[in-house]
Chain A
């Protein structure tokens, strides 16, 4: 009970900061970085469904991310409207997710990881090599952003708020999912798959549905990405993107709600801000990850919470001793 007050307070402060961010950051460059953090956080939250709650480490999610982006970009280029392009993009991403799931859920662990990696590379290869469709390395331009209830999303501030709404929906859906009976079922298959089967659960179907849920939000993140950049190229679908999303999840803390968000913030800030000052920003990012994994193997958010708690207890113990001595 006592832990609830500060938690609600912290959530309230976070919401207030996110809502007013463009007001006190006048520079649109930094507002755009905030948009990037939020859209990558959606992708990391989506991957966390499989990695954190399902115990299934995927290295193919960049392909799902890119599948949504490419579908929307190509349909927009062909002259279709935003609604058609976006719905088709999500539909196609779910279809690709289903195929990924059917092929990769034959196994778990390293084999699952390798199959998702291989499937991701196939999609990357298609984007890179099928030049007549995707224009290969040149990528596809998206000339307009959609209008949201008549409001143009062309400015950095307007786009930020659109991403914030989608991000909020993603966080809420994750929070509902984690507490739901289905979420409990998925965590059960992660911890004791064999027992879950004997208890009457369809372990395969639970994992399959979790994969679709993860794929859905990955596709949404891919759409946000393509509208943010107004451009997509095969680089987005490369292994590095999958690895980056996975690093966001692991460094922030798997199977937590805040972890993937914190992880996304670290990666995006390092990529954009630190690269302006340090040429070898990748090295800095690497050092940060090594430090996190060394000192907080369970991730930044659970690690910080643990240190906070133990620090608090030490302080209290010291205070109690102090009282006794005096």
Chain B
């Protein structure tokens, strides 16, 4: 079963082609790494998959159904979740409230005018579960303003995991982390069950290479090389456009 199928996807900002005839196919349960230098169009590709941008042409299919024209919020309900490269959290709230909001987004309760969000047991319990997965359950009640950068990165991941996505898009989850923190995040990503298909963007090739079976190299909006880890690493075009020699 194909989790995500992208066909001939194009997107331009003015005269700049940021996504140029991209074809991508991710199998259910697969771990895919998308690498490429700055400005290769990696995050734009994510924005097209989640619907935060709409493509000029081409199509996107999620588990066989066409979602090209579907509103972003509806894709979340179909099982697409993402993290952001630039941390995008609710700064005035606690860690637990941040993750609770992620769960509330998929619950019909979000329209409820009555009741107290902090007392919705199934939401709070699921939020704690997601926080336990990323190792933050002990500081769940802490206001986000009092957390470190590394902790915020993990809150990002917890919010996406809490939604129990079928397709998880991770946008540079290691950006700005120390070596120890990276190792922690690598471990927690390995623990994500195989029901979840994951596409990860990483700018730095060495950090995430052992995460994925298949690697796609993007450059100036085009897929340059695609294949297994060693295929891509040893391809001369990779050396040329990415490693710079």
Cα separation A33 to B159 with both chains bound (whole Å): 50
Please tell me if the beta carbons of A199 and B101 are within 8 angstroms of each other in the complex. yes
Instruction: Give Cα A160 to B72, complex, Å.
Output: 50
**Interface 1/0s, chain A 195-206, versus B by CB < 8 A?**
111111111000
Report the stretch among A176-184, A219-227, A229-237, A284-292 that lies at the interface: A176-184
Contact of B97 with A184 in the complex, beta carbons under 8 Å: yes
B99-124, CB under 8 A of A: which get 1 and which 0?
Answer: 01110111101111111111010000
CB-CB < 8 A to A202: which residues of B? Answer: 73
Hey, which chain A residues are within 8 Å of B120, CB to CB? 181
The reply to whether the CB of B5 lies closer than 8 angstroms to some CB of chain A is: no
Size of the chain B interface, CB-CB below 8 angstroms:
36
Q: Is the CB–CB distance between A194 and B88 below 8 Å?
A: yes
Residues on the B chain within 8 Å of A179, using CB: 115-118
Complex CA gap A202/B118 in Å reads 21
* Cβ-defined contact, A180 with B112, below 8 A: yes
Stretch binding the partner chain, chosen from B12-20, B76-84, B216-224, B237-245: B76-84
Once bound together, how far apart are the Cα atoms of A194 and B82, in whole Å?
A: 12
Q: With contacts defined as CB atoms under 8 Å apart, how many contacts are there between chain A and chain B in the complex? A: 84
Q: How far is the CB of B110 from chain A (nearest CB, A)?
A: 5
* Cβ-based interface call for A137 (8 A): no
A198 lies within 8 A of B110 (CB): no
Quick check: A201 and B73 within 8 Å, CB to CB? Answer: yes
Instruction: Please measure, in the bound complex, the distance between the C-alpha atom of A196 and the C-alpha atom of B109, giving whole angstroms.
Output: 15
B212 at the interface (CB under 8 A from A): no
Chain B positions within 8 Å of A188 at CB level: 90, 101
Q: How far is the CA of A191 from the CA of B144 in the complex (A)?
A: 13
Residues of B within 8 A of A176 (CB): 113-114
Contact A197 to B73, CB < 8 A, known contacts A179-B116, A181-B117, A184-B97 = yes
Question: Known contacts being A197-B73, A200-B76, A200-B105, is A181 close to B115, with CB within 8 Å?
Answer: yes
Chain B contacts to A: CB under 8 angstroms: 50, 52, 72-74, 76-77, 82, 84, 88-93, 97, 100-102, 104-107, 109-118, 120, 159, 163
Known: A182-B111, A191-B93, A195-B90. 9 other contacts (CB 8 A): A176-B113, A180-B114, A181-B110, A182-B110, A184-B100, A185-B101, A187-B92, A188-B90, A191-B91
**Subset of 6 A-B contacts with CB under 8 Å:** A184-B101, A195-B90, A198-B50, A198-B73, A199-B102, A199-B106
